[in-house]
Structure 1
Amino acid sequence: MFLAVSKKRLLSGLIVGVFGFLIVSLGNWWFSISISIIVHLALLEFFRMSEFAGIRPATKTTLLACQILLFFTQLSSQGYISIEISDAILPLSGAAICGWLLLQPVTGSIADVAASIFGLFYLGFLPSHWIKLRNLLETDLINNFNLIPADWPPSITFGMLITFSTCFMIVGFDIGSYFVGKKFGNHSLSPISPSKTIEGVIGGLFFSILIGSYFGYLLRWEFGILIGIFIGVLVALFSLVGDLTESMLKRNAGLKDSGDFLPGHGGILDRIDSYLFTPAIVFYIVILLSPLIIS
């Protein structure tokens, strides 16, 4: 039985990995549309969990609002509209969600409003930073300076590279946490997720730092390795936050998995929980640290 589950888990993980590599490589609308589909499926799982907890969220309104938010994020990232227009979508969506709940025959509760707005933030605003990260150009950070070595192929953009490096750090943290925790884990990290151990987190942190420093070295930046280590630490910590946040939501709903979309992995939300908080952190850290790269 365990072997069968492991094979399913391995096959599902392989398919997800190949799909992820393909859409990050393609970028552009292929990437943003794929993110939109993943977000839609994850939101359905999130609202299913909310209903198990006795909450009546504004499901359809929030689903639509998140898709509009992602669409406008892609447009602004490519320069078709101003960032101000894109930024306006979030507060307008929040107002629309509250308005929808007000118009229902049974007025929405605090829990209904909170779950709906959190869904907009958790699976709309946060994932939109993957689109921002993938579309990030060197000129968005520093004019007349190459953040990628000049002898690299022109098809490799800064946005592609930083997106891949972030994904690899998350994968490194997840794999390191799992195997180190299985082998050496003795001290539980949190009652929310008893299988998570302090030893596992340390192992995952090590692999995330290792991958981050390697990418910093490849880019030949000033202080590249140190910057890579710093980003690796942040990615590991916020991957953990994403993982534990989803575990908290599932526990409140009384569910083991968010769904059964991926054999051996559970639902979509179970698979992407580590990927929700990390892109925003990396996006803003890269922008803030870009002057240090050429100092």
Structure 2
Amino acid sequence: MTLVSSTPMLKEARKSGYGIVAFNIHSFDMLYSVAEAAAELDAPVIIQTTVGTVQNLGPDSIVKTARAAAEKFHVPMALHLDHCTDLDVIIQCIRAGYTSVMIDASMHPFEENIRLTNQVMDIAKYIDVNVEAELGKVGGVEDNIVVSDKDAEKAVPAECKEFIERTSVPTLAPAIGTAHGIYSGDPDIDFDRIAEIASLVDEPLVLHGGSAIPEDDVKQCIALGMAKMNVSTELKNAYSEAIKEHFLEAPDSLDPRKYLAKAKDVAKELAKSKMILVGCAGKAPEIKEKAYSNEYKLDSLQV
């Protein structure tokens, strides 16, 4: 199975009441740790990269590695560009073979957000590439996008409905009180707002800032209609802490195969715990049957 668009898998997840985890990876062995976790649990998964990771590793190399992992482990796997504000980078990633992209125009006024989102939709809707947009402003730091607590704004339910009607965007990330990064206290999630938005739109909703949210809160978000949960900082920290621990215990052990293997195993176990939490473990066969019965490939995209 090659890389697939996340649209069908997320629609199926929302309809069936579970979630799919999207993991931000920063290296190729992190990508494989997530892919192996999905294979061991027979779970669909979304691999995400920030613009910074695209610039560091290169979109072509990322796509080739993700395709190899998808074909090796044979689970439904999408490759998503997270929080991108630059149309040229979005086009570059789609041409390389990304199957999902996020246009983040949430820092702009509502009408401008619609205009910029429609620019991406005009490209992606013809080639089965998922598009994600954001309404409101999720606080915290994601790559080079910084939103302070005072500037964070929750999404307006009626605007979510209008936004989807005017853009036909297949996935929407409404700001509902979560933040990027690790929380200093419990997040102030507005569950009533999620429920109201979900009652107005059928499209899968995306939970940003999914690192270290209390498990009961995650389950409630999923039950209310959040079909995709993003995990970035928690995975990155677990991976890095494993390397730090290796050198604290054995400072002269300089073989990268040893300390990277430890980091990869720790990241894999974290990824598995998140997949189990959102309920997608064991859902790969169902996703293949219901969402990808006629598997398509993105090898010959012309953008």
TM (norm. structure 1) is: 0.25
TM (norm. structure 2) is: 0.24
Larger radius of gyration: 1
Q: Which structure is higher in helix share?
A: 1
Between 1 and 2, higher relative CO (CA 8 Å, sep ≥ 6) is seen in 2
